[in-house]
Amino acid sequence: MNSLFPVSLFWGSLALIAYAYAGYPLLVWLLSRRHAGQIDQDSAETTTKTQSQELPFVSIIIAAYREEDVILDRLNNLAQLDYPIDKLEILIGCDGNEDLTGELISTYDDSRIRLLQFEQRRGKASVLNDCVPAARGEILVFSDANTHMDRQCIHQLVRHFTDESVGGVCGQLILEDAETGKNVDGIYWKYENFLKQCETSLGAVLGVNGALYALRKSLYAPIPPETIIDDFLIGMRVHLADRRLIYDGSAFATEETATSVQAEFKRRIRIGTGGFQSLRHLKGLLSPRYGYVAFAFWSHKLLRWFCPVFMLVALLTNLCLLNQTLYQVTLFGQGLFYLSAFLGMKLGTGTGRLRKLCRVPGMFVQMNLALGIGLFRWLCTTQSGTWERTERSQSRIVTVNEELPIEELDNADSAPVETDTPTHIS
């Protein structure tokens, strides 16, 4: 009887890990196949309605912090978007005046671009809270300063809003190598996009990618200034408003990958911390009354966020059961897994058969280590809405108005927000 508790914990932990990463994807794929026909029909009807109706006015909103190295390249990309000039405006909010970002924006020759310069750095959430009221568009498109949109992506996003039940649309982010410009979407990124497609069929897309997503302005409510992953919170609030949040892979943008493993690891820790932080505002979506949304939230997010805990429990309970041969074998298996993960992380981006064998365990352990640190930070430290700028390649720096070739072209209980009036609007 004494060994029954650790046995239950051991196998229960392994079962939850297996379900979160393998069982749920299989189950959501099977469920999505039943709804695929209806989704195709809805998409065809949406396209027909868009062609027969007037295009909405769109406001693109970008929060920027120390982006002088990439901002001109971004402005050139925005200038080439294929959307009616009189139906588009671009608002760029500069969080703090610490470099030449604001000056470069203000000198750019495009009447659609408006600069909101905030002298005090407060964090992305506060910048978004102040930019949205200044926007004139009925549809808001949020993006980042280092993202490059496809010329047609605005059309692809807004066509869904002819359906009044749609509150938000998430586009696809394609990762590119900073040196070669080649698509480097990894296994995990493709896996996540696959889940988004399946969840769209069920009406259960979980959040959006901050690089490219659209929202009805009427649904935006100020988010707490300390919010870490604003895109997730804003996207999930669409469900709280009883509107649909969908994913459209044909609306895409590109972005360079982080320049180092360390930078990517820090980013994942921050995302993990932000995920736990968001539960305070989104816990209502875990209720069964939200149907597939609750099912996906529990399975795709919550269980995955707690996988570091399950992994630790599985290891510790395994050590308590070493008097039985079966658990000596399972401990040996865990040891091999963690050894291969260690080698996978150490070998990095090298080539060879050993690296290929160790790549997935290394990625899995590194991701869960970041989530574990994120959980610890959420429990033990005070969170801030300001963010560390990720270092990027210098290969895409351009000058004012340089033309880029066309072919080069991821709640009601909010705290009150302190505003910082822009000192310069152009």
pLDDT tens column, 384-400:
767 666 555 544 433 33
Q: Is residue 330 part of a domain?
A: yes
Let me know if residue 9 belongs to a domain: no
Please indicate, yes or no, whether residues 105 and 197 belong to a single structural domain of this protein: yes
Does the structure show a pLDDT above 60 at 43?
no
The yes-or-no verdict on residue 78 having pLDDT over 60 is: yes
Note whether residue 373 is domain-resident.
yes
Structure-token pair, residue 42: 């809805």
φ and ψ at residue 212, rounded to 5 degrees: -165, 105
pLDDT tens-digit profile of 218-262? 999 999 999 999 999 999 999 999 999 999 999 999 998 765 677
Q: What is the CATH number of the domain that holds 134?
A: 3.90.550.10
Distance of CA 325 to the CA centre of its chain: 44
Do residues 187 and 309 share a domain? Answer: no
Does residue 338 sit in the same domain as residue 413?
Answer: no
Is 19 contained in some domain?
no
Q: Is residue 2 part of a domain?
A: no
**Domain match, 351 and 318 both:** yes
Residues 407 and 294 in one domain: yes
Domain range enclosing 172: 24-301+403-425
Clarify whether residues 197 and 210 are in a common domain: yes
**Distance (Å, rounded) from C-alpha 370 to C-alpha 376?**
10
pTM of the predicted model as reported, rounded to 2 decimal places: 0.83
For 124-149, write each residue's pLDDT tens digit: 999 999 999 999 999 999 999 999 99
Q: Do 294 and 357 share a domain, yes or no?
A: no
Whether residue 175 is found in the same domain as residue 324: no
Give the whole-angstrom CA distance, residue 75 versus residue 214: 19
Residue 407 lies in a domain: yes
Sequence-separated (6 or more) residues with CB below 8 Å from residue 213:
141, 142, 157, 168, 169, 170, 171, 231, 235
Distance separating alpha carbons of residues 348 and 351, to the nearest angstrom: 9
State pLDDT tens for residues 197-210: 899 999 999 989 99
State yes or no: pLDDT of 353 exceeds 80: no
The CB-based long-range contact list for 108-114 (8 Å cut-off, 24+ gap) reads 108/72, 108/75, 108/400, 108/401, 109/400, 109/401, 110/75, 110/78, 110/79, 112/85, 112/88, 113/75, 113/78, 113/89, 113/426, 114/89, 114/90, 114/425, 114/426
In a domain, 92, yes or no: yes
Task: Band the pLDDT of 47: cuts 50, 70, 90.
Answer: low
- pLDDT mean across residues, the chain: 85
Q: Which one, of 65, 63, 70, 61, lies nearest residue 256 by Cα?
A: 70
How do residues 308-339 score in pLDDT, each as one tens digit? 999 999 999 999 999 999 999 999 999 999 99
Q: What is the pLDDT of residues 85-127, one digit of tens each?
A: 999 999 999 999 999 999 999 999 999 999 999 999 999 999 9
Q: Checking DSSP bridges between strand 88-95 and strand 424-425, what pairing results, if any?
A: unpaired
Residues 294 and 317 in one domain: no
Give the residue carrying structure tokens 């229960």: 12
Q: Long-range contacts: 379-385, Cβ < 8 Å, 24+?
A: 379/276, 383/226, 383/228, 383/273, 383/274, 383/277, 384/123, 384/226, 385/122, 385/123, 385/124, 385/125, 385/126, 385/224, 385/225, 385/226, 385/227, 385/228
Same domain, 308 and 177: no
State whether 172 and 267 are in the same domain.
Answer: yes
The beta strands (E) that lie in 54-146 are given as: 58-64, 88-95, 113-118, 139-143
Angstrom CA distances, 91 to 72, 333, 336, stand at: 14, 54, 52
47: helix, strand or coil: helix
Partners of 169 in the β-ladder: 214, 246
Domain assignment present for 359: yes
SS3 180: coil
> Which alpha helices (DSSP H) does 283-324 contain, by range?
292-296, 303-305, 307-320
pLDDT at 348: 64
Do residue 124 and residue 217 come from a single domain?
A: yes
* DSSP helix/strand/coil, 146: coil
Q: How many domains does one find in the chain?
A: 2
| d(C-alpha 302, C-alpha 133), whole Å | 32
